[in-house]
C-alpha cells in the first residue's frame, strides 16, 4: 500500500511541474503583452501630441522670423529710397539757394536801382530756407521712424529666437524620453547591449538639451548623472533598473511639458496640454 502511493506521487510530480511552468510562462507572456501595449499606446498618442505642441510652434516661429526679416528689409529699402529722394531735393534747394545768393550779391551792387528786385530775391531766399528746414524736419522724422522700426523688429526677432531655442531644447528632451522608453523596451526583450547603446544616444540628446536650456543646467546635470548610474545597473541586471527608468522618464517629461500658466508660443493660441501618464512596466 505504501509503495503504490509513493509510485503514484512520483508519476504526478512532473505533470504538476509542467503545468506550473506553463502557468508561469503564460503569466510572463501576458505581462510582456500588457507592457508592450502600454508603451505602444504612449508612443502612439505621445508622439503626435509632441509634434503638435513642440514641432509645429517651432515651424510657425521660423515662418514669423522670415516674414519679419522680409518686412524689415522692405521697410529699410522704402525708407532709404525716401531718404535719397529727400537728400536730392535738399541738394537741389541748396544749389538754388546758392545761385540765388550769388545773384543777390551781384545785384546788390546797384542797391538804388534794384531795391525791389533784391527784396523779391530775399523773399525767395526766405521761402527756400523755410522749405529746406521743413525738408530737414521730414528727414529727421523719417530717420527716427526707421530707427524705431528697426529696434522693434530686432526685439521681436530676439524674442522669437529665444522661444525657438527653448522649443528646440524641449524637443531634444522629448527625444531623450523616447530613448529612455526604448531602453526599457529593449530590457524587456532581454537585449541589454542594444539598451546600453540606446542609453548612450539618450545621453547625447540630453547634452544637446543642456546647450539649449542653460537655465535648467543643474536639473539636466542631475539627470545625466542618473543616466550614467543606469548603465551600471543594466550591466549588473539589477532589479532597480525598471523603476529607475520609469522615474527618469517621468522627470524628463516634466521638463518637456510646458507650464500650464505659460503655454508655449505666447499669444499664438496654443493651449496647454495635460501631461501624458507614465507607463507602468
**pLDDT tens digit string along 47-64?**
778 777 777 787 778 888
Residue 166's pLDDT is what? 77
φ/ψ bin of 275: left (φ > 0), alpha (ψ from -120 to 50), beta (otherwise): beta
Q: Does some domain include residue 275? A: no
Residue 113's pLDDT is what? 61
Q: Does some domain include residue 190? A: yes
Residue 42's pLDDT is what? 78
* Model pLDDT for residues 88-139, shown as the tens digit of each residue: 888 888 888 888 777 766 666 665 566 777 677 788 888 888 887 888 888 7
Return d(Cα 136, Cα 90) in angstroms, integer.
Answer: 8
Place of cell 528632451: 173
Residue 267's pLDDT is what? 39
Q: Does some domain include residue 10? A: no
Q: Does some domain include residue 278? A: no
- If one counts the domains in the chain, the total is 1
Range of the domain at 161: 16-107+114-258
Q: Does some domain include residue 269? A: no
Residues (pLDDT < 70) of the chain are 1-12, 104-114, 118, 146, 149, 152-154, 156-162, 258-281
Residue 109's pLDDT is what? 64
- 33, 38, 41, 42 alpha-carbon torsion, rounded to 10°: -140
Residue 255's pLDDT is what? 83
Q: Does some domain include residue 240? A: yes
Residue 30's pLDDT is what? 92
**DSSP helix/strand/coil, 198:** helix
**Which DSSP letter does residue 54 get?**
I
CA atoms within 13 A on the CB side of 159: 12
Residue 148's pLDDT is what? 77
Amino acid at each position: 500500500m505504501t509503495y503504490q502511493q509513493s509510485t503514484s506521487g512520483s508519476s504526478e510530480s512532473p505533470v504538476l511541474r509542467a503545468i506550473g511552468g506553463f502557468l508561469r510562462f503564460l503569466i510572463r507572456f501576458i505581462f510582456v503583452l500588457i507592457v508592450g501595449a502600454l508603451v505602444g499606446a504612449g508612443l502612439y498618442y505621445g508622439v503626435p501630441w509632441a509634434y503638435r505642441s513642440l514641432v509645429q510652434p517651432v515651424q510657425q516661429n521660423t515662418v514669423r522670423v522670415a516674414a519679419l526679416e522680409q518686412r524689415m528689409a522692405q521697410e529699410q529699402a522704402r525708407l532709404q529710397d525716401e531718404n535719397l529722394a529727400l537728400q536730392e531735393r535738399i541738394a537741389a534747394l541748396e544749389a538754388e539757394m546758392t545761385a540765388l545768393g550769388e545773384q543777390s550779391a551781384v545785384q546788390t551792387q546797384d542797391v538804388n536801382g534794384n531795391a525791389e528786385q533784391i527784396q523779391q530775391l530775399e523773399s525767395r531766399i526766405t521761402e527756400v530756407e523755410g522749405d529746406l528746414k521743413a525738408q530737414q524736419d521730414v528727414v529727421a522724422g523719417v530717420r527716427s521712424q526707421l530707427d524705431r522700426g528697426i529696434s522693434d523688429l530686432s526685439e521681436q526677432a530676439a524674442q522669437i529666437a529665444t522661444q525657438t531655442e527653448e522649443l528646440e531644447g524641449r524637443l531634444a528632451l522629448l527625444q531623450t524620453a523616447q530613448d529612455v522608453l526604448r531602453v526599457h523596451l529593449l530590457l524587456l526583450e532581454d537585449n541589454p547591449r542594444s539598451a546600453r547603446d540606446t542609453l548612450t544616444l539618450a545621453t547625447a540628446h540630453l547634452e544637446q538639451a543642456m546647450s539649449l536650456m542653460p537655465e535648467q543646467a543643474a536639473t539636466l546635470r542631475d539627470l545625466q548623472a542618473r543616466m550614467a548610474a543606469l548603465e551600471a545597473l543594466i550591466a549588473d541586471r539589477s532589479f532597480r533598473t525598471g523603476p529607475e527608468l520609469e522615474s527618469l522618464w517621468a522627470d524628463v517629461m516634466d521638463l518637456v511639458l510646458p507650464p500650464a500658466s505659460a503655454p508655449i508660443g505666447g499669444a499664438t493660441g496654443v493651449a496647454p496640454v495635460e501631461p501624458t501618464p507614465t507607463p507602468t512596466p
